[in-house]
Every structure is written in structure tokens, then in C-alpha cells.
Amino acid sequence: MTSSYPISEEQIRFYEENGYIQFLNVLSAEELAQVRSALDEIVREQGDLHEMSTSEVEYRKIFVQTVNVWRTHAGLRDYVFSPKLAEIARCLTRAHKIRLWHDHALVKMPGDSKASAWHQDIPYWPMQEDGSLSCWMALDDVFEANGCMAFVPGSHTFGRLEPINLVNPQDLFHLLPEEKAASISLLPVFQPMPAGSCTFHDGRTFHYAGPNTTDKPRRAVITIYMPDDVHFNGKPHVVTNDLNLAEGELLAGERFPVLAEQ
């Protein structure tokens, strides 16, 4: 994977103000083909919907997801460890070092898939500090009809709210104190973009993806990064449950490798 995708100070300030940003044509045609091949192989390994419980099927109608695939799949590891994407994350956070939190291989299935709920990411992550961010890479052209990402600009300034149940969701906007809800426009900004393009968003930013109403899957890979000064808050999480971390311990080590540094 090529090693750089220059970004400007103006783009960094846009991210800081709005809590998200879009970058077009980050992957070359060859890089895109390699990541698509890896994700398609992963999805084939997920199993048939008919073999799952009702709750699992309902969740997969929102999206098919698997986490930390970099640990078991060499093809996706090459993508997740991309210095190009990690350096973008480091610049956006103005961090000296950026670490991997985890990846998602994620697909919205065609036809009957549901919308994902409006939510923040940081309430689900066992992190004491804010500042972590996600790269949402489109492996297919994305638009409103197949569930492109949408963000509420400036919503990262609201801080952390309660986590939303993604299968039976509450209304995230009703969790806002009235004075905060009135402080900025809550109109979403949709992010259609060609395959090989991506968005980055802060873990506190309100975001959502609508249903996939087309007849083809909508494939994406999400890589989550964190600055090199994030500590464990003691809450359970699938990524940390087997690590026996103490509350307040730095999230570091082999599970959370440094991917870019100044």
C-alpha cells in the first residue's frame, strides 16, 4: 500500500470543528481490489443466516460485522496496518503516535437490511480519554440508497452520551439536554463517495447509515485508531476482556500496536 496521502492544515481544522471529514480516492485500484478480496473471503466464513439465532439474524440485517480480523487474516492485516491511513489519523488528532484500537469488517446486506441507529462510538469503548477516531473505508460506491455514512457536524462537542442499543435503539437526540440540542444544527450531512474513498470521524460524533435498498451488498472496512495516551476505564469489551487490564492502565502492547508516529 502506498505510504502517503497528504492532508492540509485546513482539513485538520475542518475535522476538529465538525468531528468528521471525507477523503476521496485514498486507495489505488490495486489496493481496493486486494481489500475487497480479503473482505469477501471473510464474509464467506461468517456462515449462512439460516444457521443463526433470531437475535443474530436481526443484527445481521443491520450489518454483518466481525472484529479484529487483522489478527487472523493476513490480507486484511496488510490493509489495517497501512501507514497511509494511520498517518492521516495521527495528523487529524495531532498525536505524536497513533495506535490501533480494532478493526471491523462490515457489510450491509441488500434488500432487507435495516438502518443503523444514530449513535456515538466512544460510549462502547472502554477508554478514559476522548480523541479516538474511526476510518470508514468504502469498498463499493456508496450513496443514500445503499447506506452511506451521515454525520451531524459539531456533535462531538456534546461529549459522551449513553450507549444506544443498536438492535432496539433509543432516540439519541432525545438524550441531549435541551440547551445542547439548540446549540447547533442537528441536520445530518450524508457522505456519498466512490469506492476507495473514506471518512474519518471522532468517537463522539453522531453518525448513522441508512438501509441498503439496492440488490447488492455494501462493503466497508472500519479501522479505529487512538492516540498513544489512552487508558482503560475498566468496562467490559470484547477486545480487552481477555487481557486482565487494571482500570487506569495504558492501552498499549501487541494488541494495540503503534501504526504511525511523528
Q: How confident is the model over 90-139, as pLDDT tens digits? A: 999 999 999 999 998 888 888 856 788 899 999 999 999 999 999 999 99
Q: Which domain holds residue 102?
A: 21-47+54-255
Residue-averaged pLDDT of the chain: 88
**8 Å CB contact between 5 and 84:** yes
**Is the whole-model pTM more than 0.95?**
no
Q: Within a domain: residue 242?
A: yes
| Residue 76 placed within a domain | yes
| Environment class of 252 (CB within 10 Å of its CB; exposed 0-12, middle 13-18, buried 19+) | middle
Band of residue 59 on the pLDDT scale cut at 50, 70, 90: very low
> Grid coordinates 473505508 are at which residue?
137
Average confidence (pLDDT) over 173-191: 80
DSSP annotation of 7 reads: -
pLDDT at 185 over 90: no
Integer Cα distance of 163 and 159 in angstroms: 12
Asked whether residue 11 is domain-assigned, the answer is: no
Q: What pLDDT sits at residue 105?
A: 83
Residue 6 lies in a domain: no
Interatomic CA distance for residues 134 and 88, integer angstroms: 11
Domain contains 2:
no
Work out the average pLDDT over 22-45: 92
Share of the chain above pLDDT 90, in %: 67
pLDDT of 159-168, one tens digit each?
999 888 877 7
* 262 within some domain: no
Query: Into how many domains does the chain fold?
Result: 1
* Cα 192 off chain centre by: 16
Please indicate, yes or no, if residue 236 is contained in any of the structural domains: yes
For residue 15, is it within any domain? no
Tell me, what CATH number does 185's domain have? Answer: 2.60.120.620
Residue-wise pLDDT for 231-242, tens only, equals 999 999 989 999
3-state helix, strand and coil shares in percent for the chain, rounded to the nearest 5 = 30, 25, 50
Name residue 146's amino acid.
N
